[in-house]
């Protein structure tokens, strides 16, 4: 123990990772640099994370026997995907510390709970209403007005499970098109740009925040992140304040990404929370003293948080689908930092890697 409520795991320990994609992979690499091993648990074999981990368990998130064996083999558990079942985290927590915990995940998995939580903190979002049934969907669209966006309350990401309404589609038809599930209707925001802030919070409550970055999307998938965002110092400070306030209120341990809109009037509105490393933080691997992935390792292992000082400005671009075929040119490009995720098949919309280009600090 290094302080009140801090459980320190010394190098040589094993971090359990729930989920096995590229975020887990980059966390496992950061963990190895600090002397830790990673044991990954997911239903998928030959995963990006498993390729660089010391151990792998391939099993369902509902397999209690496999989960118990996994939990007994590690010193702490974290996650790289917020849609791990809450029941899975609650079960594992009987055996070993889990960061972030099941309570955090319950909020982050449900857009209705998430928006309500943020608003209760006095933090603004787009106007929204619940749409849990056909009648409520119609009422929500009527109250919010068009244009608006209807999103499934759970499981949607990268544009999945959502539809924009402009008045030419009946709300009930829109609700059915996203699966007829619990949904949220959000007012359409005419924003200047989208930003995100990634904040790391340790077991002792210490926090550090990376600067606000600008995120540009293509086909609802993050295409490019520009670090730092070209916003006023006051706007950047407000975005960082909001992210830290949410992390504190959640009693979060780990790395939290807060996606936000900056309106044309300069207001900052929270869009979504991601309770794990985030695509918009990949630039920190090459441009910061400590990456978002190292911060996750530090936080869950009870170590002091690292510096978020950046050694350069940066532009990170995702390699989606066949973009990865450009790797020979990218790896030959002076100054380009290429990161490939070890995925065997390049499919449309699939994140295969990213490239970061460093720029002089402004």
Least Cα distance to 68 among 88, 38, 40 occurs for 88
Query: What value does the mean pLDDT take over residues 285-312?
Result: 98
Residue 189, annotated as binding a ligand = yes
What CATH code would you report for 14-109?
Answer: 3.40.50.20
Domain ranges of the chain: 14-109, 127-187, 191-359
Residue 72, annotated as binding a ligand = no
pLDDT of residue 173: 87
Residue 51, annotated as binding a ligand = no
Tens-place pLDDT, residues 240-275: 999 999 999 999 999 999 999 999 999 999 999 999
pLDDT of residue 2: 38
Global confidence as pTM = 0.94
pLDDT of residue 190: 87
Tens-place pLDDT, residues 148-168: 999 999 876 655 678 888 878
Residue 151, annotated as binding a ligand = yes
Query: What value does the mean pLDDT take over residues 311-315?
Result: 97
Residue 217, annotated as binding a ligand = yes
Residue 7, annotated as binding a ligand = no
Arithmetic mean of pLDDT over the chain:
94
Contact 21, 350 (CB under 8 A): no
Residue 111, annotated as binding a ligand = yes
Residue 191, annotated as binding a ligand = no
pLDDT of residue 1: 34
Query: What value does the mean pLDDT take over residues 178-201?
Result: 93
Tens-place pLDDT, residues 65-120: 999 999 999 999 999 999 999 999 999 999 999 999 999 999 999 999 999 999 99
What CATH code would you report for 127-187?
Answer: 3.30.1490.20
pLDDT of residue 261: 97
Query: What value does the mean pLDDT take over residues 223-247?
Result: 98
H-only helix segments in the chain: 22-33, 64-72, 86-92, 102-108, 111-120, 134-144, 171-177, 233-249, 284-287, 292-300, 327-332
Residue 343, annotated as binding a ligand = no
pLDDT of residue 159: 57
Residue 109, annotated as binding a ligand = no
* C-alpha pair distances (Å), 42 with each of 55, 56, 109, 275: 12, 8, 18, 18
Residue 223, annotated as binding a ligand = no
Tens-place pLDDT, residues 3-13: 458 999 999 99
Architecture, CATH, for domain 191-359: 2-Layer Sandwich (3.30)
Residue 205, annotated as binding a ligand = no
Check whether 303 has a pLDDT greater than 80.
yes
Residue 114, annotated as binding a ligand = no
Tens-place pLDDT, residues 22-74: 999 999 999 999 999 999 999 999 999 999 999 999 999 999 999 999 999 99
Range with the lowest mean pLDDT among 42-46, 131-135, 191-195? 131-135
């Amino acid at each position: 123990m290094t302080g009140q409520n801090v459980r320190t795991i010394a190098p040589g320990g094993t971090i359990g990772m729930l989920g096995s994609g590229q975020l887990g992979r980059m966390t496992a690499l950061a963990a190895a640099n600090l002397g830790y091993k990673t044991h990954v648990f997911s239903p998928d074999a030959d995963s990006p994370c498993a390729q660089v981990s010391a151990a792998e368990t391939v099993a369902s998130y509902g397999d209690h026997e496999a989960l118990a064996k996994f939990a007994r083999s590690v010193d702490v558990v974290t996650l790289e995907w917020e849609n791990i079942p809450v029941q899975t985290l609650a079960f594992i927590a009987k055996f070993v510390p889990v960061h972030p915990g099941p309570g955090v995940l319950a909020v982050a998995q449900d857009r209705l709970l998430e928006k309500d939580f943020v608003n209760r903190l006095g933090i603004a979002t787009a106007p929204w209403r619940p749409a849990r049934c056909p009648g409520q969907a119609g009422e929500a669209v009527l109250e919010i007005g068009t244009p608006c966006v209807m999103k499934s309350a759970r499981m949607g990401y990268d544009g999945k499970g959502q539809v924009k309404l402009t008045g030419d589609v009946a709300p009930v038809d829109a609700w059915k098109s996203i699966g007829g599930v619990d949904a949220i209707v959000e007012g359409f925001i005419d924003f200047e740009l989208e930003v995100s802030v990634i904040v790391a919070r340790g077991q002792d409550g210490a926090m550090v925040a990376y600067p606000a970055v600008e995120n540009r999307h293509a086909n609802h998938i993050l295409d490019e992140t520009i670090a730092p965002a070209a916003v006023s110092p006051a706007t950047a400070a407000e975005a960082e304040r909001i992210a830290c306030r949410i992390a504190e209120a959640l009693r979060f341990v780990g790395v939290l990404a807060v996606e936000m809109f900056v309106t044309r009037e300069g207001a900052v509105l929270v869009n979504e929370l991601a309770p794990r490393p985030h695509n918009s933080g990949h630039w920190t691997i090459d441009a910061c003293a400590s990456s978002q992935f190292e911060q996750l390792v530090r936080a869950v292992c009870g170590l002091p948080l690292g510096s978020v000082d950046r050694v350069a400005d940066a532009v990170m671009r995702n390699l989606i689908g066949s973009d990865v075929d450009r790797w020979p040119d990218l790896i030959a490009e002076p100054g380009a930092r290429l990161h490939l995720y070890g995925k065997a098949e390049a499919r449309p919309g699939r994140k295969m890697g990213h490239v970061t280009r460093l720029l002089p600090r402004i």
